[in-house]
Each structure stands twice: as structure tokens, then as C-alpha cells.
Amino acid sequence: MTRIIRPVHPADADRICAIYNHYVATTTISFEEEPVAATEMQQRIADVTAAELPWLVMVDGDTLIGYAYATKWRARAAYRYSVESSIYLDPDYAGRGAGGTLYEALLAELSQHDLHLVIGGIAQPNEASVRLHERLGFRKVAHFSEVGLKFGRWVDVGYWQLALN
């Protein structure tokens, strides 16, 4: 099948939820504890696009297999040149290059905006995500110990950043 990367459509929300809710239910990659409904995901998509930030999806044939997007890092005006990136893949496609291709497309899109810095927060441990970020040029800049509690255990979060210009 041919993989394409395109901007998200509101109708993608159901499939995005199917991918994301797997991580919510089974991992500490997301700190959400309850599944996200399609209506909530549609609102999240609308919020990102209203902020004029990219939300991209990767489609393999007729199947949406992953998505990546950026959100404002913080609300205060001085942070307006920094964004936080997120990427999620259908677990069946992990480890086969789709994540790198999708993330590169997101970074290319972000470089077309008036932005300076991309920040990736990674719940630890997550060696695959660390490798992906570092392969794309991100460098680790922070580590917060026991910042989240999920599945009855404390989880650390590391932060990696990449300067776009």
C-alpha cells in the first residue's frame, strides 16, 4: 500500500481515538487515565487547527495508522515561538519507519511557521521514543522524577528539544 501524509480531518477523530486510547489504557506514554471520546478528540483537533498549528495523519491505503501534531508550549506571550510535539502510531506499525517519516513531516511543517523550538515530553522509560527524538536531532534538556502517577506507580518524564532555526 501507499502511505500518504495529509492534514487531519474532523472525520479522522474515531480512528485517532482508537490509536490513542490503546496507549491510554495500556501504557504510561499518555498520562490520561480514561478513554477519550471522538467528540473530545474533534475538539482537540479544532483547537490545534484554530491555533494555526499542524496536525498531520499518515494513511496506509484506507487505514489511518498514525498522527502527529503540535500545541502551544505555554499560554504566556513570550512562549509563542515554542511548541510541544506529539506523535502516536497504531502499535501494529511501530518500529517500521512510519514514526520517523511522520515526525519529519511534522517538523518540516513546523519549520514553515514562525517558530523557534519544538519540545517533546517523553514518559520514562520509553527507549523507542527517545531514539526517535534523538535520531531527529532533539537533545535531552530536563528530567522530572515521579511527576505522574498511573497504574499505581510513579512515572518520570524527560524533555527533549529541537531548535528549528
For residue 114, pLDDT beyond 90 = yes
CA distance 105 to 99: 10
Predicted confidence (pLDDT) per residue in 79-92, tens digit: 999 999 999 999 99
CATH code: domain 3-163 is 3.40.630.30
Provide the whole-model pTM. Answer: 0.95
Whole-angstrom Cα distance, residue 145 to residue 151? 16
109/15 Cα distance (integer angstroms) = 23
What per-residue confidence (pLDDT) applies to 96? 85
Report pLDDT for 103: 98
Transcribe 85-105 into DSSP letters: EEEEE-GGGTTTTHHHHHHHH
Please state the domain extents for the chain. Answer: 3-163
pLDDT (average), residues 143-159: 98
Segment 50-74, tens digit of pLDDT: 999 999 999 999 999 999 999 999 9
Residue 34: CB partners within 8 Å, gap ≥ 6?
Answer: 24
CB burial readout 71-93, b (16+ within 10 A) else e:
eebeeeeeeeebbbbbbbbbeeb
Mean of all residue pLDDT scores within the chain: 96
